[in-house]
Amino acid sequence: MDLRCLRFGVELETTGRSRREVAHAIHSVVGGTVEHAGGAYDAWQVTDLRGRTWKVVADASLTSVPRELQAEIVSPVLAYDDIPHLQEVVRAARRAGCRATPDCGMHCHIDGAAFDGRTLANLAKMVYKQEPLILHALGVSEARLQRYTRPIDDEFIRRIEAARPRTTDELNPLWYGQRTTNPEHYHRSRYSGVNLHSYWYRNTLEFRWFHGTTHAGEVKAYVQFCLAIAAKALNTRSASSRKREFSATSAKYSFRCWLLRLGLIGEEFKTARLHLMANMPGSAAWKNGRPQIPAAAVTSVA
C-alpha cells in the first residue's frame, strides 16, 4: 500500500472567528454554496464545486472562548492530491483571523477499509514502540496526555501480544475490554492518541496527537505522517512492541531514521521532516552527537 493511495480527513479546531466567518473563508477557496445547518453543533456547511461538504461546528472543549467563537473545521473525505487544496483552506482561515489557542487540537482520520485485525495490531504496536519519540516530537502537553490524547495502554498491548488477533472481531474485545459491537460515539476509549474506537464507530483510524495550528505546512506534515504510519502498518507482516527509551542525545537521529523507514524520503517529504523533527534534541546526522575534533588534531592540521 502506497501512502498516497489512502484517503483521509481532518478536524481542525480554531478560535477567533465565528463559524459563519470561517465557513465563508473556506468558501473563498472551494467555491460552491454556504448554508447554516444548525443542530446541536450549530453547524455551517460549505458544499464545494465537487459536491463535497466542509463543515464548521462548535466544539465544547474550546473553553478559552465563548461558544460563538468555537470553530472546528471538518473536512470531507480527501485524497492525497487534495493536500494542497486543504492547505489553501487553512491559509484562508488564517487570513480571516482564525487562531489556534492552547486548547485547540487537530485530528487526522485515515480510511480504515484496508485494515484487518492483524494490521490494526501492527499499527498499535508500532506506535507504542515509538511513542516516546512521537510525543516529544509533536510537543504533546501533559494536560492533553491526561485527557484528550492518552498514550496507548500497556495492558492493551499485552492483550494483543497474547492473543495475536487476525480479524477485527478478535481485536474488538482487546480494545474495549469486552466485545462491543455497537459502540457509542463518546465512548471513553476514543480519547487516545491513536483512537481505534473510531474504526468500529465510523471505519476510520483517528490520530489525535496534534496541537492546533493554522500553519498550512504543519497540517500537511501531520497528514503525511499519519498516512505513512498507516501505510507502514498495512505493509508490515509483523511489528515489534518493545518500547523505545527516550534519549536526548540520540532522539533526533532515531526519529529521522524512523521517518525514513516510514517512507518519508526525498524532496516530496522534506518539509514534513523539517516540521516533525523541529522539536527534537540531538543531531539528525549523528546518533551520539557530532564527534568532537581534538584540539591537538586541529592544531596539527593548521
Residue-wise pLDDT for 237-250, tens only, equals 999 999 999 999 99
Residues 275 and 201 in one domain: yes
Residues 49 and 193 in one domain: no
Is residue 8 domain-resident?
no
Please say if the pLDDT value at position 298 is more than 80: no
Residues 58 and 135 in one domain: no
Residues 167 and 277 in one domain: yes
Residues 55 and 89 in one domain: yes
CA distance 72 to 26: 12
Q: Among 69, 98, 127, which residue terminates a domain?
A: 98
Residues 65 and 113 in one domain: no
What value does the mean pLDDT take over residues 204-217?
98
SS3 73: strand
- 8-14: strand order across its sheet: 33-38, 43-47, 53-57, 71-74, 8-14, 105-111, 204-211, 194-195
11: β partners: 74, 107
Is residue 301 domain-resident?
no
Determine the structural domain holding residue 241 and report its residue range. Answer: 107-288
Is residue 38 domain-resident?
yes
Position with higher pLDDT, 297 vs 40:
40
Residues 56 and 186 in one domain: no
Is residue 1 domain-resident?
no
pLDDT at residue 222, rounded to an integer:
98
Is residue 234 domain-resident?
yes
Residues 190 and 83 in one domain: no
Is residue 3 domain-resident?
no
CA distance 36 to 23: 9
Q: Among 98, 126, 160, which residue terminates a domain?
A: 98
Residues 111 and 92 in one domain: no
pLDDT digits (tens, 9 = 90+) for 135-192: 999 999 999 999 999 999 999 999 999 999 999 999 999 999 999 989 999 999 999 9
- Long-range residue pairs from 288-292, CB within 8 A, at least 24 positions apart, any chain: 288/249, 288/250, 289/249
Q: Among 98, 127, 156, which residue terminates a domain?
A: 98
Please say if the pLDDT value at position 297 is more than 90: no
Please say if the pLDDT value at position 126 is more than 60: yes
Query: 90: closest CA among 14, 4, 6, 8?
Result: 14
What value does the mean pLDDT take over residues 61-74?
96
Quote the number of domains for the chain.
2
Residues 188 and 81 in one domain: no
Q: How confident is the model at residue 289 (pLDDT cuts 50, 70, 90)?
A: confident
Is residue 83 domain-resident?
yes
Is residue 152 domain-resident?
yes
pLDDT at residue 294, rounded to an integer:
66
Please say if the pLDDT value at position 24 is more than 90: yes
Residues 63 and 116 in one domain: no
Please say if the pLDDT value at position 91 is more than 90: yes
pTM: 0.94
Q: Are 132 and 245 in contact (CB under 8 A)?
A: yes
Residues 85 and 136 in one domain: no
What value does the mean pLDDT take over residues 72-99?
98
Average pLDDT, the chain: 95
What value does the mean pLDDT take over residues 222-229?
98
pLDDT over 90, % of the chain? 93
